[in-house]
Each structure stands twice: as structure tokens, then as C-alpha cells.
Amino acid sequence: MPQLVGKEVGPIGFGLMGLTWRPTPPTQEQAFEAMRAAIKHGYADKVVISIKGGANPKTHQTDASPENTRRSLNDSIAQLKGRKMIDLFEFGRRDPNVPLDTTFGLIDREYVQTGKIGGISLSEVRAETIHEAVKHTKVLAVEVELSLFSTDVLENGVATACAKALSRRPGMPAIIPIPGATTVDRMEENSKLIDITDAEMEQIDAILSKFQPAGERYPPIIPTDT
């Protein structure tokens, strides 16, 4: 079983973005039903919460200034009303205007060492950022896109950097998929572990080699590989 923040977690996580971050999100009742089912179906014995933050609410840009870092963390912690600790906090994107040691130093001193959050992770970063970040803080996880339509991280050094910088070993890092879904049925389908035979893998590779996804991963306005 993989570990996060020193806790054993299930092999498949649950991405919660679709429960709020879309023009017409599901009702709270439906969202809670899906989350309860995720816990019941053994996503993890105990829930490990990883959240992204760091956007400036006025500019909607990533803002790693000390004041916005504190605001983002304090707002996120306040949302949970003391019922649960945030296990992992990450900036949704790297802010190119603020040195990593400024941001991580603050989070480490004021939030990790004081027990307000469990630790620091990274999101949508390039390999160089991972190598640089581990010099300044203990990076517990890296959240990036890896899907049938986007295998970039296997080829652009990000997966290799995760294995080397986080686990200190070569090869593939431990990967925990976090499929998102808004209904119990889909959540249950996504929580099943299956074995794929070599023949099936070949079939998937053959389909993908002929499949051209339309568009890029994000519209140009959204920063990627930060």
C-alpha cells in the first residue's frame, strides 16, 4: 500500500474537483453521497486530504507572497472548522515571482511545524521545480496529469524526478490515481483494481497510437509545467 504523510492510503484516491469546480456542480447531497461511498469502498481507512490553494482571489493568479500564502492556508484551514487537519497543502501552480525557499520556509515554520497541516506537496510542476523544491523542504507528493490522453510526465522527466527526488530511487515513483466522479456508480467503478494482460495493453496502445486528442491539456491562459 502506498503511504502519504506517513499514513497508509489506498491504491486509488478520489479527485473532488468535479464536486464544485464546474458551471453546474452536483447538489451537496449528491457530493456527500459520492464521498461517503468512496470512504466505504475502501479508498483509505482514514481520509488523507490534499488540497490546492495559493490563488489571489482578486487577480485569480498564483500569488506566493507571504500575505497571500497565509491567507490561503488560513481560509482553507478555517473551512474545515477544526474537524480534520489538512494533510497536504500545495500551490496549484508555482509562482515565478517568489523564491521557493520564501514560500516553503513560511509554510514549514508557521504551519507544518506548528501542526496546522501535515506537509507540503507540489502541483503542475516541471522536473526542475521538483529538484529545486526538495532542496528547500520535504516534498511529500507531486500532483500532475497522467492519463491515457496525456502521458507527458512519463517522457518529460517529471516521473523520473519524482522517483529520484522524493523516493531517492531510480525508475517509476509510486503513483496514486485520483479519478474524479460525481456519482456513486462511477466512483465504485473507478475504485476497482483490475489486472490488464499484455494483449489488452497492446490493444490499448494500438488505439492510442491512432487517437489524436483535440486541443491541448489547458487553454493557453492557464500556466502549465510551472
Ligand X SMILES: NC(=O)c1ccc[n+]([C@@H]2O[C@H](COP(=O)([O-])OP(=O)(O)OC[C@H]3O[C@@H](n4cnc5c(N)ncnc54)[C@H](OP(=O)(O)O)[C@@H]3O)[C@@H](O)[C@H]2O)c1
Give min distance, CB of 15 to ligand X, in A. Answer: 2
Largest CA distance in the chain: 54
Give min distance, CB of 26 to ligand X, in A. Answer: 8
Q: Write phi, then psi, for 164 (nearest 5 degrees).
A: -75, -50
Segment 70-129, which members bind ligand X (CB under 6 A)? 92, 123-124
137 touches 99 (CB < 8 A): no
Q: Which of 5, 183, 217, 223 binds ligand X (CB under 6 A)?
A: 183
Q: Where are the beta strands (DSSP E) in the chain?
A: 3-4, 7-8, 50-53, 86-91, 117-123, 139-143
Between 25 and 105, whose beta carbon lies closer to ligand X?
Answer: 25
Between 60 and 168, whose beta carbon lies closer to ligand X?
Answer: 60
If binding is defined by CB under 6 A, does position 224 make contact with ligand X?
no
CA distances in angstroms from 219 to 18, 37, 51, 129, 216, listed in the order given: 18, 33, 22, 22, 7
3-state secondary structure of 166: helix
If binding is defined by CB under 6 A, does position 18 make contact with ligand X?
yes
Between 109 and 146, whose beta carbon lies closer to ligand X?
Answer: 146
If binding is defined by CB under 6 A, does position 182 make contact with ligand X?
yes
Q: Which residues are bridge partners to 150 per DSSP?
A: 147
Q: Which residues bind ligand X (CB under 6 A)?
A: 15-18, 52, 92, 123-124, 143, 178-183, 186, 189-190
